Amino acid sequence: MQNLARTPADIGHAIKQARRDQKLTQKALAMKSGVWQETISRIENGSPGTKLETLFDICAALNLEFIITERSKGNSDYLDEL
């Protein structure tokens, strides 16, 4: 799974997609990551202001990682096409 993420909403979409692909509820992901379920809900809904440490905890629980690269000309509206 690869997703282009340029906004908090893009990151939330990617986390939600990974959680659903792994057949986890928000509550199960909360228990696995040590992050409050309410926080996971806010992230999945694109709320800004999440601490990087929280994102890393969630990504670790979902077996995901960040890769930083030069910005492409791609559009984040086409997440599913990547």
Four-residue CA torsion sign, 30, 31, 35, 37: positive
Q: 8-66, superfamily in CATH?
A: lambda repressor-like DNA-binding domains (1.10.260.40)
The percent helix, strand, coil of the chain (3-state, each to 5) is 55, 0, 45
Query: What pTM, to 2 d.p., does this model score?
Result: 0.82
Q: How many CB atoms lie within 10 A of CB 28?
A: 14
Residue 81: how many other CB atoms lie within 10 Å: 8
Residue 81 and residue 5 in contact, taking contact as beta carbons nearer than 8 Å: no
Q: What pLDDT tens digit does each residue of the chain (82 aa) get? A: 788 889 999 999 999 999 999 999 999 999 999 999 999 999 999 999 999 999 999 999 999 999 888 888 755 554 444 4
